[in-house]
Amino acid sequence: MSASGKARFIPVTQPALPPLEDFIPYLQQIWDSRQLTNSGPFHAQLERALCDYLGVPHVALFANGTLALVTALQALRITGEVITTPYSFVATAHSLLWNGITPVFADIDPLTLNLDPARIEAAITPQTTAIMPVHCYGHPCDVERIQAVAERQGLKVIYDAAHAFGVRDGGGSVLRHGDLSVLSFHATKVFNTFEGGAIVCPDADTKQHIDHLKNFGFVDETTVVAPGINGKMSEINAAFGLLQLRDIDAALVRREAVDARYRAAFAGTRGIVCLPVREARANYAYFPVLVRPDYPLRRDALFERLRTHGILARRYFYPLISDFPMYHDMPSAAADNLPVARAASEQVICLPIHPALTEADVEAVIACVTDPAR
């Protein structure tokens, strides 16, 4: 970093942090109460505050998003096969393996890069019990068609909504869809609690069951009703979440401005395709572009060129989950089953977007992409 005299890098993302002194009073309260975890006061406050902010009925906090995914599948007693996308972060499919479930990969839609409902339907077998779609980059899935498939076939739907914090469609929060939705509050996400996650639940009974599952299955001091896990969020993380929530809207406004500047700049750049934003309220969590064959450089060459300029773009999502060794021998991982996902993973590059980017940072990225010979 410049302060240390080293070259300055522009990272793909950077966590927004409040002034440290603003966090001290929260720490003081934790020190005074000596309640460090196990559903303390900050945990309860953050659950309520998130329900209000997101516009959802119930939220169960977790130590991270992956444990929340694993527990969501447990809560619905999912077994057998689950249809999911290969175009995501690896935790999506790993949560299935951790439950002894076979992931079945289906191809994605070329415009949204989310699961293609027609391909979901074609992948159903007698073993299929659920669908696990991802709102990739925070862009909502085709939730209506997915729900229609699920109802026709008697399947559950668990949304991996790790990217979709705060996203709304015409009817409200995108997190209201499906049987459950799972959020991640990891440091790299739009809203972070250092590490953290949550399950959005439709009713109080489901939340209570999930609260038991994330606490070893305890329902009271002496009764254990299920082989639960330790998925609890600590008081430190919950308190930090409350403070982060104070500043989240300002962070989203800044992200939106970066998104708008990129879109305007790339509108005339041949071979660079931005993904459409169709949601009523977006969160600008990522800025993916597809590097098409009519761009002068291949994706990896652009990636390297950005790097030589100190711009640390990322190839989300490359490789496909289905290419990792624990998945690649599965029949649904075959290349001819996933041509759209494969093409996207070979063309995509996520450009830096976060609230601390300066105008100069954004212009440096734009210059590099629009004039690749530079």
Report the nearest approach of ligand PLP to the CB of residue 218 (Å): 23
Please name the residue ranges forming H helices in the chain.
Answer: 20-33, 41-54, 65-75, 91-97, 117-122, 143-153, 204-213, 235-266, 299-308, 339-347, 359-370
Please check whether residue 267 is in contact with residue 260, taking contact to mean a CB–CB distance below 8 angstroms. Answer: no
Report the nearest approach of ligand PLP to the CB of residue 92 (Å): 5
- Residue 283 interacting with ligand PLP (CB under 6 A): no
Name which position in 64, 283, 345, 347 contacts ligand PLP (CB under 6 A): 64
Report the nearest approach of ligand PLP to the CB of residue 239 (Å): 18
Rounded to a whole number, what is the distance in angstroms from the first to the last CA of the chain? 23
Report the nearest approach of ligand PLP to the CB of residue 338 (Å): 17
SS3 296: coil
Give the range of 158-166, 231-239, 275-283, 320-328 binding ligand PLP by CB under 6 A: 158-166
Contact characters 128-157, ligand PLP, x per CB under 6 A: ------x-----------------------
- Residue 206 interacting with ligand PLP (CB under 6 A): no
Report the nearest approach of ligand PLP to the CB of residue 73 (Å): 13
Count Cβ atoms below 10 Å from residue 252 Cβ, excluding itself. Answer: 20
Report the nearest approach of ligand PLP to the CB of residue 255 (Å): 16
Instruction: Name the amino acid, one letter, at 256.
Output: E
In angstroms, what CA-CA distances link 27 with 16, 32, 43, 48, 246? 19, 9, 14, 20, 17
Name which position in 66, 85, 237, 322 contacts ligand PLP (CB under 6 A): 66
**Residue nearer to ligand PLP on the CB measure, 163 or 176:** 163
Instruction: Give the burial class of 28: count Cβ atoms within 10 A of its Cβ; 0-12 exposed, 13-18 middle, 19 or more buried.
Output: exposed
Angle at 92 between CA 86 and CA 93, to 5 degrees: 65
Tell me which DSSP letter residue 196 carries: -
Tell me the site size for ligand PLP, rule CB under 6 A.
14
Site residues for ligand PLP, window 12-51 (CB under 6 A)?
Answer: none
- Residue 337 interacting with ligand PLP (CB under 6 A): no
Tell me which DSSP letter residue 314 carries: B
- Residue 94 interacting with ligand PLP (CB under 6 A): no
What is the DSSP track for 94-133?
Answer: HHHHTTTPEEEE--B-TTT-SB-HHHHHHT--TTEEEEE-
Report the nearest approach of ligand PLP to the CB of residue 130 (Å): 16
In angstroms, what CA-CA distances link 344 with 153, 167, 299? 29, 23, 11
Name which position in 88, 112, 129, 181 contacts ligand PLP (CB under 6 A): 88
**Residue nearer to ligand PLP on the CB measure, 89 or 266:** 89
Give the range of 58-66, 107-115, 225-233, 334-342 binding ligand PLP by CB under 6 A: 58-66
Name which position in 47, 81, 142, 160 contacts ligand PLP (CB under 6 A): 160
**Residue nearer to ligand PLP on the CB measure, 128 or 192:** 192
* Rg, the chain, Cα only: 21
Instruction: Name the amino acid, one letter, at 162.
Output: A
> Distance (Å, rounded) from C-alpha 365 to C-alpha 374?
12
- Residue 92 interacting with ligand PLP (CB under 6 A): yes
Which residues sit at the interface with ligand PLP, rule CB under 6 A? 64-66, 88-89, 91-92, 134, 160, 162-163, 184, 186, 197
